[in-house]
Chains A and B, each alone.
Chain A
Amino acid sequence: MTGTLATYRDDGILARALGAAGRRIPLPPAILELLGAIPLVVLLVVEGGEVSNAALGAAIAFFILLAGAASGRPHTDRIRWAAPPLLRAGEYTTTLFIGAAAGASSQPAAFALICALAFRHYDLVYRFRHQGVSPPTWIGLLALGWDGRLILGWVLLALGALPAGYFVLAILFGVVFVGESVASWLRFVGAQQPALYDDEEDIAE
């Protein structure tokens, strides 16, 4: 799958591999993502912060399985535009859920981490809109994709490495994402490249 929506998805290696396997599932990506999120939602409502690591891990695995499989579906269905936002909602909510499961001291760390991730996800859109390019591949690999980040988050939780692990990740991601973005703009302005994409003024912003 290629194109703008694929960029917005921010899939990692595992999600892409699952996508290759799940190409034939005859459901729109947004529906697959919604189905994949059901165990997480149930756990969140029933158990909340008291959830066991194993149960949370299983729910995350299920989400990655289905939402990852969705990445291989051609985003040509009528509600294709719903796939990236559902993925973001799923990723951020799960990140906060992991933080909540680790205890109150991890909650600010989870907030800090999703702030760093939000920078990347807005930058994916704004850089394409105003510079006409997407961030380079290496930064996509380094960002691990939503799937890689969720697995890493759960591993940190299981190892008892929260909140420190989240804070370190937030700082690392923040420095890399912001640094690379600023560097790209310095290069862009220096090279005076013509812009390719038309500016759009979204009222809802």
Chain B
Amino acid sequence: LTGASDNTATGVRERPAGPPATAAATATAILFATAAARDGGPAAALRWEGEQTVVARLIDQLASLGIRRVHVVTRPAFEDAVRASLGAPDSDVRVDVSPSLEADLRLIADVARGSRGGVVVGLADIVTQREALAGLLVDPRHPTGVLATAAGHGRPYAPRARSRRGRVVSAASQYHVVDTPNHRFLGVIKLSPDARDELAAVAERLASLAAAPPPGWIEELGSKEHEWRTEASEPEGRDNTTVEIDEDELEHRLAVAPDDVTALLFVGLVRSGVHLGPSYVRRLYWSRPLSERQVERARVEITEHDEDRELLESAVKAADGFFTTFFVSPYSKYIARWAARRGFTPNQVTTVSLLIGLLAAAAFATGERWGLIAGAVLLQMAFTTDCVDGQLARYTRQFSKLGAWLDSVFDRTKEYLVFAGLAIGASHQGDPVWLLAGAALTLQTARHTMEFSWAATMHQQIGAAEHPPLEEPRDSAGVKAAARAAAKAARVEAAEPAHTVEAAPAPEAPAAAAPSPARHGGIRRGVDAWTALDRHPRALWVKRIIAFPIGERFAAISIAAAVSGARATFIVVLAWGGFATLYSLTGRVLRSIAA
């Protein structure tokens, strides 16, 4: 038997739709049915539909994704109820009884050491759609990852987290807090076979802490009530009204919070440097109902989320350029669905896109007006097809490393072939522009190299980041912020006596005492303000347009070539690209200096 990631990572794109059932075949799932329902009994054993319970439904979903070895962990008092709730599953399910959080963690360590494949750790009482789980469990791009949501509202009780560049850098739990969160953890963790040893070690370490929770943990747990009350009262819209909180529910959530082993494990893994990628549920449904009434509501709400439609919507890349988002994706996703139904693979679509790009270059190479116009149209067709392949891959979850490489390499090939075609066409017209074409290629390649080098630098920084020990509830940013606040308070205190002496000069010493924040404070504040602009959608779009992403580039090439010709095209590409380079270079130099 090979490990789970051996099967998923290469992701051979054979199936026209749906993830391969064998993807996670060797993984073991550990589901925790330890939370009590508000009406008594374990929440996982609440009825979903007919005789099926919440946990039985989840086990069926996992089985459909190839995970057929499941441990259901519960408390002694819930054992009978949990056993009865399982029905007659197809999977190999065993019930483990664990008296405490500490024992839960030791059990995870034992399973991690004893299993041969990957390990999935999750809450047994969550209600979500199969495709949301598939996004995490079958995506080869996340060998280890967590189910997450980036939505700003709803799900107030799910632990917060912060990610950068596709990696969770800070996590919260019932006992931990995140300084500047940007998403939430939804109770499922996937670990590759390679990460099992680390998982066991982390679980053991957490178990010894959970046996006698450190004072900092207890204090943090105590402050959750206020935090959750605030979050639960935030409405879905952006108006200033508040939502009336269901006090019974808040109290119940607080009561079950200490036993959330998944959140604690999440923090432990992040702090030991395990690379966890957040897999966002996007528009798919997720909830954790802890009462019959909440299950009822979930049953109604989940039907409002048409799985196929939401999956198609979610297939559109979350952060993309302006032109792509508003002029291509709205219809290319339907082409992607059509392609999925006809059984086309993403790699086939990628290849078709390259061929259309070749035709566009050939049309440009004629240098005639009709050729320039035809080339412009063909280039847009090639670009649309290029968007389709990614959407098709996300929609049908047929990711592959080769596919990603082909997509990237063919994109560059198309662009530079078009440059060559335009230059050949211009030569036919007696206006050689080879140097301009070369300059455009140089600028674009240097720009990409800067992106790659910047990304490599960021990855290196994130990977090398120090995390506080698990006993510390705050993350490193929180600890630093507290230290800065303390230093500031000390400075104010030190500066205070100076004010009492009228003749004393302005106190210079404090500024020198804290060199880094003081020296680069202005730049830092400027960069922060600039980043804060991203919260305004319009400002964010302007920034993205300035950056001259591929959609804008191809649109600019098409329009300039069709309207004028090769020379104008290269001038537009050089001017816009040059401005984009200066813009991002300035931002990054400032960011680097202020860091």
Contacts and interface: CB of A to CB of B under 8 A. Distances in A.
Nearest to B275: A198
Contact of B454 (A81, A96, A193): A81
B432 interface: yes
Interface of A: 3-5, 8, 78-86, 88-89, 92-93, 96, 99-100, 104, 107-108, 110-111, 114-115, 118-119, 121-123, 125-127, 129-131, 185, 188-189, 192-195, 198-205
A111 B456 contact: no
A130 B401 contact: yes
B432 A107 contact: yes
A34 B149 CA distance: 44
Interface stretch (B51-59, B68-76, B136-144, B300-308): B136-144
A85 B446 contact: yes
A79 B586 CA distance: 11
Nearest to B193: A194
Sorting the interface of chain B by its residue count into under 10, 10 to 19, 20 to 34 or 35 or more gives 35 or more
Given A85-B453, A110-B438, A115-B441, A122 B10 contact: no
Contact of B319 (A127, A188, A194, A201): A201
Interface string B570-586: 00000000001000110
Which 8 A-B pairs have CB atoms at the shortest separation, nearest pair first? A107-B434, A85-B450, A92-B442, A85-B449, A4-B456, A89-B446, A81-B453, A194-B9
8 contacts: A93-B442, A96-B435, A108-B423, A110-B438, A122-B409, A122-B448, A185-B402, A200-B166
Given A89-B446, A118-B445, A194-B3, A200 B439 contact: no
A43 to B, nearest CB: 15
A110 B549 contact: no
Contacts of A118: 412, 416, 441, 445
Nearest to B11: A195
B406 to A, nearest CB: 9
A69 to B, nearest CB: 19
Contacts of B439: 93, 96
A131 B401 contact: yes
A192 B10 contact: yes
Given A203-B547, A204-B447, A198 B438 contact: no
Most buried by A among B319, B419, B451: B451
B367 interface: no
Contacts of B446: 85-86, 88-89, 92
Interface stretch (B169-177, B252-260, B525-533, B587-595): B587-595
A200 B434 contact: no
B79 interface: no
Looking at A88, A185, A195, the one whose CB has the most chain B CB atoms below 10 A away is A195
Contacts of A115: 416, 420, 441
A149 to B, nearest CB: 14
Given A79-B589, A82-B453, A114 B441 contact: yes
Contacts of B450: 81-82, 84-85
Nearest to A189: B402
Interface in B443-490: 443, 445-457, 459-460
A55 B402 CA distance: 46
Interface of B: 3, 5-6, 9-10, 12, 140-143, 165-167, 192, 275, 277, 317, 319-321, 399, 401-402, 404-405, 408-409, 411-412, 416, 419-420, 423, 427, 432, 434-435, 437-439, 441-443, 445-457, 459-460, 544, 547-550, 580, 584-585, 588-589, 592-593, 595
A125 B452 contact: yes
A122 B412 contact: yes
Contacts of A123: 409
A203 B317 CA distance: 10
Contact of B411 (A79, A81, A89, A205): A205
A49 B141 CA distance: 48
A82 B439 CA distance: 19
A111 B438 contact: yes
A111 B452 CA distance: 23
Given A3-B460, A96-B442, A204-B547, 9 more contacts: A81-B454, A92-B441, A99-B435, A111-B419, A194-B10, A195-B141, A199-B141, A205-B448, A205-B550
A203 B432 contact: no
Contacts of B459: 4
B219 to A, nearest CB: 35
A198 B589 contact: no
Given A115-B441, A126-B409, A189-B10, A8 B435 contact: no
Contacts of B409: 119, 122-123, 126
- Which of B165, B399, B404, B549 has the most chain A CB atoms inside 10 A of its CB? B404
A80 B445 contact: no
A111 B420 contact: yes
A174 B455 CA distance: 27
Contact of B447 (A85, A188, A192): A85
